[in-house]
């Protein structure tokens, strides 16, 4: 093992906002490290600004003029004397140019290297790394497709999934079930990819019908050590956006879990990855799984893994960035202490096609009690800006087994009181009464089927 060189941080700037910024501040306080918050003019009254040791306004409300402004973030880090920058999730967290700019400024980026982000950020390149690492992938195009895309699609065989090369968050993705729809779906996916990522390149994957979305949290240090934790089941999605995540998956056996973890570790080692990240897989009904992508950052749903494994993943990120070797072994990482679920509470009206509902919180009484955790930056009187993601809270529930977990989740959702804006709490309560969800028979299409059935019932009235 290489010589261990540890450089402790005295001050960390958080290049993010809202609940994830607050989440990082809390760990920094426990570690005795000063925190710097950045905020836009719209976030002046956000709780993360109040909780940080220092706060710097970096621009106007639109993300492009504040949280996505690399120069402004780097300048804020310099003038406050930050040793390191934590990117959180979203915004610039998977931007190789940002990681590079931070590093060139003589500041530590708490995450993988710019090179690793760049390699794994291009989905087609990530697939190539997976193949070299011996990890199974879904059949697909060898990299991005060109003018011969029709021939490539025929060779793979329909149905196929068209994916943006620089995609994320379900953007630039289109399922093409039949050859006759290919041209239209290509144009749609390319247009969305160009609009969201500034790059219209796409690649193809064989579409696995009725799959589960299974992901594995990983951590890797600077010394060649890597561990993988128990899987998260993120199959409960609407339009490729996750709503409910749980761990362990009710579908995954101990034997399959071990294979998932081994595959995830192989992949991050093949990529010479450093930091905390997530390897995502599609799992077929026969439990065969295929590599999908790597998220080179902290996930929204990371608390689910924290509750199951008993580790602080943000602390782990910071320790790795300081040069510390991993403090746990694979055997320790594999321990499943309990069951946990995360309900993403969004300021949206689920009765009106999940329309965002920004506004002022008139009443805020979060759930509590045994096995209940709420990660949020909300408070009574806070005005939710219309410029950003609609996520306002993450309700994380833990119990000894899944049956008790569902009962506790129902109780926690029932006592969560929010007024002034519409939220997705009522929809989460519907999910808990769904027979397939209760039985653990989820796939990525379950929520869409629930919504379609609901619409059909309404039309009969």
**pLDDT tops 70 at residue 247:** yes
Residue 56's DSSP bridge partners are 38
Q: Are residues 251 and 370 in the same domain?
A: yes
pLDDT reported for residue 282:
94
14 membership: H or E segment, kind and range? strand 11-14
Q: Which residues are catalytic?
A: 297
Query: How far apart are alpha carbons 425 and 38 in whole angstroms?
Result: 30
d(CA 216, CA 263): 9
Asked if the structure places residue 118 within a domain, the reply is no
Domain that holds residue 161: 139-206
Residues 324, 443 within the same domain: yes
- List the CATH number of the domain containing 82: 3.40.50.20
CATH number at residue 188: 3.30.1490.20
Mean pLDDT score, 387-405: 97
Instruction: Determine the average pLDDT of the residues in 350-375.
Output: 96
183 and 157: one domain? yes
Final residue of a structural domain among 206, 235, 259: 206
Give residue-wise pLDDT tens across range 205-216.
889 889 999 999
Dihedral angle sign, alpha carbons of residues 98, 104, 105, 107: positive
Q: Give the domain-ending residue among 172, 206, 240.
A: 206
- Asked whether the predicted pLDDT for residue 23 surpasses 70, the reply is yes
Same domain, 152 and 95: no
User: In the predicted model, what is the mean pLDDT of residues 434-442?
Assistant: 97
Angle ∠(321,303,421) on CA atoms, nearest 5? 120
Whether the Cβ atoms of residue 392 and residue 347 lie closer than 8 Å to each other: yes
Q: Same structural domain for residues 341 and 411?
A: yes
User: Final residue of a domain: which of 206, 224, 248?
Assistant: 206
Does one domain contain both 202 and 217?
Answer: no
DSSP codes, 374-416? EEE---TTPBPPSSS--EEEEEEEEESSHHHHHHHHHHHHHH-
Q: Residue 124 domain-assigned?
A: no
Q: Is residue 243 part of a domain?
A: yes
Q: Per-residue pLDDT averaged across 217-246, rounded? A: 96
Residue 1 has pLDDT above 60, yes or no: no
User: What integer pLDDT is reported at residue 413 of this predicted model?
Assistant: 98
Residues 236 and 272 in one domain: yes
Whether residues 200 and 225 fall in one domain: no
Residues 151 and 225 in one domain: no
What mean pLDDT do residues 244-251 have? 98
For 77-117, what is each residue's pLDDT tens digit? 999 999 999 999 999 999 999 999 999 999 999 999 999 99
pLDDT tens-digit series, residues 297-335 = 999 999 999 999 999 999 999 999 999 999 999 999 999
The number of angstroms, rounded, from the C-alpha of 193 to the middle of its chain's C-alpha atoms is 19
> Is residue 182 in some structural domain?
yes
Phi, psi dihedral angles at 220 (to 5 degrees): -140, 135
Amino acid 139: pLDDT: 84
d(CA 218, CA 229): 6
Instruction: Flag whether 132 is in a domain.
Output: no
Q: Domain holding 274: CATH number?
A: 3.30.470.20
Upper half-sphere CA count for residue 45 (Cβ side, 13 Å): 10
343 and 263 part of one domain:
yes
pLDDT of residue 435: 97
115 in a domain, yes or no?
no
pLDDT greater than 70 at residue 172 = yes
Considering the domain architecture, whether residues 406 and 314 belong to the same structural domain is answered as yes
Domain count, the chain: 3
Residue 446 is assigned to a structural domain of this protein: yes
Q: Both 324 and 440 in a single domain? A: yes
Residue 53's pLDDT band (cuts 50, 70, 90):
very high
Task: Mention every residue, 6+ apart, whose C-beta is less than 8 A from residue 435.
Answer: none
Q: Supply 30's token pair.
A: 């426990």
Supply the pLDDT for residue 461: 67
On whether residue 4 sits in a domain, the answer given is no
């Amino acid at each position: 093992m290489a010589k261990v060189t540890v450089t402790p941080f005295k001050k960390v700037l958080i290049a993010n906002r809202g609940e994830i910024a607050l989440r990082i501040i809390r760990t920094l306080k426990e570690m005795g490290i000063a925190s710097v918050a950045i905020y836009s003019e719209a976030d002046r009254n956000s709780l993360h600004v109040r909780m940080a040791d220092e706060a710097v306004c970096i621009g106007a409300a639109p993300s492009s003029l504040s949280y996505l402004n690399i120069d402004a973030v780097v300048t804020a880090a310099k003038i406050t004397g930050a040793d390191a920058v934590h990117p959180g999730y979203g915004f610039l967290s998977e931007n190789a140019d940002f990681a590079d700019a931070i590093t060139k400024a003589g500041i530590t980026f708490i995450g993988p290297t710019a090179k690793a982000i760049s390699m794994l950020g291009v989905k087609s390149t990530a697939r190539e790394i997976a193949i070299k690492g011996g990890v199974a992938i879904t059949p697909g195009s060898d990299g991005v497709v060109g003018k011969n895309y029709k021939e490539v699609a025929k060779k793979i065989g329909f149905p196929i999934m068209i994916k943006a090369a620089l995609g994320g968050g379900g953007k630039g993705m289109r399922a093409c079930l039949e050859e006759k729809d290919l041209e239209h779906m290509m144009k749609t996916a390319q247009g969305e990819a160009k609009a969201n990522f500034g790059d219209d390149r796409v690649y193809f994957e064989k579409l696995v019908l009725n799959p589960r979305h299974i992901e594995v949290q990983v951590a890797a240090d600077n010394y060649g050590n890597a561990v993988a934790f128990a899987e998260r089941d993120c199959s409960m999605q609407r339009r490729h956006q996750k709503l409910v995540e749980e761990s362990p998956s009710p579908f995954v056996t101990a034997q399959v879990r071990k294979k998932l973890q081994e595959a995830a570790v192989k992949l991050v080692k093949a990529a010479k990855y450093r930091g905390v990240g997530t390897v995502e897989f599609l799992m077929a009904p026969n439990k065969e799984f295929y590599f999908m992508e790597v998220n080179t950052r902290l996930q929204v749903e990371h608390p689910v893994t924290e509750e199951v494994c008993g580790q602080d993943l943000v602390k782990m990120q910071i320790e790795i960035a300081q040069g510390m070797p991993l403090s746990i072994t694979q055997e320790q990482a594999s321990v499943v202490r309990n069951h946990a679920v995360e309900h993403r509470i969004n300021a949206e009206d689920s009765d009106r096609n999940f329309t965002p509902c920004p506004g002022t919180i008139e009443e805020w009484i979060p759930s509590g009690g045994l096995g209940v955790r709420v990660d949020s930056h909300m408070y009574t009187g806070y005005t939710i800006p219309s410029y950003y993601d609609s996520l306002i809270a993450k309700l994380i529930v833990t119990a000894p087994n899944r049956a008790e977990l569902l009962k506790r989740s129902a109780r926690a959702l029932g006592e969560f009181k929010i007024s002034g804006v519409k939220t997705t709490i009522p929809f989460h309560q519907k999910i808990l009464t769904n027979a397939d969800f209760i039985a653990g028979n989820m796939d990525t299409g379950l929520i869409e089927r629930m919504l379609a059935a609901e619409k059909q019932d309404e039309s009969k009235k």
